[in-house]
């Protein structure tokens, strides 16, 4: 049961990351990765992680997923903008 809650929390965080990444300002998408770096570093400094290699792997893997969500959100925003511009151009041609 505990694993299900962890999975739901991870999915929720990735969904919020995607949402932030689709905002007009690019920096909204940097909030969660920055918070993840701070939290992971705090866990390492207070000896809550098992090893240095584990810390580095968790940090890189987490950032990989967060940056992938950021990239997907930015692409979706750019496609949405392009679609709107195409719609405006076709409307202006009439």
Give pLDDT, residue 28. Answer: 93
Tell whether pTM > 0.95.
no
**Which residues, 6 or more positions from 32, have their beta carbon under 8 angstroms from its beta carbon?**
13, 16, 17, 20, 66
Domain ranges of the chain: 2-93
What would the DSSP string read from start to end of the chain?
-HHHHHHHHHHHHHHHHHHHHTSSSGGGGGHHHHHHHHHHHHHHHTT-SS-HHHHHHHHHHHHHHHHHHHHHHHHHHHHHHHHHHHHHHHHHH-
8-15 mean pLDDT: 94
Give the gyration radius of the chain's Cα atoms.
18
- pLDDT tens digits for range 24-78: 998 999 999 999 999 999 999 999 888 999 999 999 999 999 999 999 999 999 9
């Amino acid at each position: 049961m505990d694993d299900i809650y962890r999975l739901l929390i991870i999915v929720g965080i990735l969904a919020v990351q995607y949402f932030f990444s689709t905002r007009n300002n690019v920096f909204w998408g940097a909030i969660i990765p920055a918070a993840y770096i701070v939290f992971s570093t705090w866990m390492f400094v207070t000896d809550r992680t098992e090893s240095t290699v584990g810390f580095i792997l968790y940090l890189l893997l987490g950032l990989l997923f967060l940056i992938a969500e950021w990239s997907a959100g930015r692409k979706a925003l750019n496609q949405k903008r392009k679609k709107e511009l195409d719609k405006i151009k076709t409307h202006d041609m009439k």
